[in-house]
Amino acid sequence: MSSQTFFSGSIFKMDDPRGNSKASLQFQLKKAVRTIGPGTDELGVFAQSAIKNKSKMRRLVLQWKGDVISADDPRAKTNNRSIIKVAEDRVFVPEEDQLASYMNDPMDKSRENCELVLITQKKREVPGIYIKAGFSIQKNHELLGAYGERYWRFTFKQEPDRFSSEHRRKAHTRYLPDICKLSQKDQDTWASLLRETIA
């Protein structure tokens, strides 16, 4: 994506990632609704018109540029919290300053309407934000998707004073199935994060 300025109220017209030259998608950055934790000034991506997906397949709405690397790659072992698991053996390292990076995690699976996944198209792996199969996003509704437990584990460690204990508990509940599959060391990290109380 070309360089653009990101601020509240910005409207972006994007080509349809599916290759339909006659269609375009419009998004707006504006203040996101938050029920817990920080974020009264955080921005979210909102659909400027309804985006429908009645098929049984995911629909790409925003491509997210970056590198897809092996989970065994040394870069995947760093403390970069932006690294997101997109397959059992691969992770995604996104480039900075992209519209897609403003998608928020509601920490509530029932509110998620999008996914960050890796799909192979014409022998090319395309990471991006996809609307879930059978889902539609209404006009002025926010695009919401899961960041994954790794993102929150590193975020809570790196910014211990920014998030409330309630926020940590909600993340732990949302990602508990994934946390149970972690090494004992990483599970202990989560236990420690939950014990910490933020005034």
Give the separation between CA 130 and CA 40, rounded to whole angstroms: 26
Stronger pLDDT, 27 or 5, i.e. the higher one: 27
Which domains does the chain carry? Answer: 11-145 (2.170.270.10), 148-199 (no CATH)
Question: In this structure, are strands 66-70 and 90-94 parallel, antiparallel, or unpaired?
Answer: antiparallel
Mean pLDDT of 44-56: 85
Report DSSP state, residue 104: B
Percent of the chain past pLDDT 70, that is, above it, reads 79
Residues making up the chain, counted from first to last: 199
Lowest mean pLDDT of 20-29, 34-43, 66-75, 185-194, name the range. 34-43
Strands (E), 38-105: 43-47, 51-52, 59-63, 66-70, 84-87, 90-94
pLDDT of residue 127: 67
Residue 9 backbone dihedrals phi, psi, to 5 degrees = 100, -15
Tokens of 60: 């790409």
Name which of 137, 7, 1 is nearest 63 in CA terms. Answer: 1
Residue 159 backbone dihedrals phi, psi, to 5 degrees = -130, 65
pLDDT of residue 1: 34
In tens, the pLDDT along 89-103 reads: 878 888 777 888 888
Tokens of 110: 């029932």
